[in-house]
Amino acid sequence: MTETRRIEAGKTGTEHPVIQILSANKIFPNGTQALDAVDLNVQQGEFLSLIGPSGCGKSTLLKMIANLIEPTDGRILWWNGGPERIGSAGSRLAFVFQDPTLMPWARVDANVRLALDLERKGADKSDVAARIHAALDQVGLAKFARSYPRELSGGMRMRVSIARALIDQPDLLLMDEPFGALDEFTRNKLDLDLVRLSWERRLTTLFVTHSIYEAVFLSTRIIVMAANPGRIHSELVIDEPQPRDEDFRGSPRFAQLCRDLSRMLTEASHAGSPQS
């Protein structure tokens, strides 16, 4: 029998959230205010999606959480500490971008090894090989370790990118529209695999998407953002058992949740300033 669980936002039993964003603003040097007074907690084990109109600051928020850009005002806490907490045991994060950004001249296994090469020079060779195999196996690409990226489909290249993120055994996975460029069939298949992966590895995941269906299928909680300036408008908790499968996608409950989210998105778009 398949194991199931429900995660209630804010009730996962951990004392501190994985991420705490406290009144974060972001004003870029050209004067664009990308984010205004964002407060957000991300709990251990959540699959949290960010959705909202173009330009509402989803990527900016994700990059701030990845510590790639700093807030202009406000604070971010990672595992209840500063940025120095990132990377230590139990506090690792990995980022998956929309573009798989593979090295075209290197085979799949070398592309996956990149994260380890950069961070762990001198790691034991057999350990590295085992970890590459395990990461590729998890995304269903164990047989393609010696292939070149040009020999793979778009969906397979994205799987390599996910394997590269998984090899360092992250505790927090940040994904910026990873499947946005894929056809719907491939995207649905990858969504299904991602649900299984995050469940098996007890990952905490932050996921940016434009797709209502994808957000409802994957998430335990969805943050709806509004633009001009970017801010949190509302949230929807998807209190459905994990790991989810095709039955959920075809259920009346799924259709109802998609309608609810669609309405919230429309309200968020209308809540933008007059220039929107």
Ligand X SMILES: Nc1ncnc2c1ncn2[C@@H]1O[C@H](COP(=O)(O)OP(=O)(O)OP(=O)(O)O)[C@@H](O)[C@H]1O
Cβ–Cβ under 8 Å, residues 51 and 225: yes
Rg (CA), the chain: 19
Q: Give the number of other Cβ atoms within 10 Å of residue 62's Cβ.
A: 21
190: Cα separation from own chain's centroid = 13
Is residue 233 a contact residue for ligand X (CB under 6 A)? no
- DSSP 8-state secondary structure symbol assigned to residue 5: B
Cβ–Cβ under 8 Å, residues 205 and 47: yes
Is residue 70 a contact residue for ligand X (CB under 6 A)? no
- Residues of this chain, 173-232, that bind ligand X according to CB under 6 A: 230
Distance CA 38, CA 225 (A): 10
Q: How far is the CB of 229 from ligand X (least distance, A)?
A: 8
CB < 8 Å & 24+ apart, contacts of 182-185: 182/154, 182/155, 182/158, 183/154
Which residue in 18, 19, 21, 34 binds ligand X (CB under 6 A)?
Answer: 34
Binding residue count for ligand X, defined by CB under 6 A: 12
Query: Directed axis angle between helix 108-119 and helix 125-138, to 10°?
Result: 120
Which residue in 1, 3, 54, 247 binds ligand X (CB under 6 A)?
Answer: 54
Cβ–Cβ under 8 Å, residues 164 and 135: yes
Is residue 59 a contact residue for ligand X (CB under 6 A)? yes
Which residue in 18, 48, 56, 182 binds ligand X (CB under 6 A)?
Answer: 56
199: Cα separation from own chain's centroid = 13
Q: Which stretch binds ligand X (CB under 6 A): 17-25, 26-34, 73-81, 192-200?
A: 26-34
Is residue 87 a contact residue for ligand X (CB under 6 A)? no
Q: How far is the CB of 265 from ligand X (least distance, A)?
A: 12
Is residue 272 a contact residue for ligand X (CB under 6 A)? no
Which residue in 12, 32, 41, 188 binds ligand X (CB under 6 A)?
Answer: 32
Is residue 30 a contact residue for ligand X (CB under 6 A)? yes
Cβ–Cβ under 8 Å, residues 169 and 197: no
| Among candidate residues 127, 175, 172, the one with its CA nearest the CA of residue 159 | 175
DSSP-assigned beta bridge partners for residue 40: 21
The site string for ligand X over 245-264 (x = CB under 6 A, - otherwise) reads: --------------------
- Residues of this chain, 130-149, that bind ligand X according to CB under 6 A: none
Q: Give the number of other Cβ atoms within 10 Å of residue 237's Cβ.
A: 15
The residue (of 132 and 224) whose beta carbon lies closer to ligand X is 224
Is residue 98 a contact residue for ligand X (CB under 6 A)? no
Q: Which stretch binds ligand X (CB under 6 A): 55-63, 89-97, 140-148, 268-276?
A: 55-63
The residue (of 65 and 136) whose beta carbon lies closer to ligand X is 65
Is residue 28 a contact residue for ligand X (CB under 6 A)? yes
Q: Which residues bind ligand X (CB under 6 A)?
A: 28, 30, 32, 34, 54-60, 230
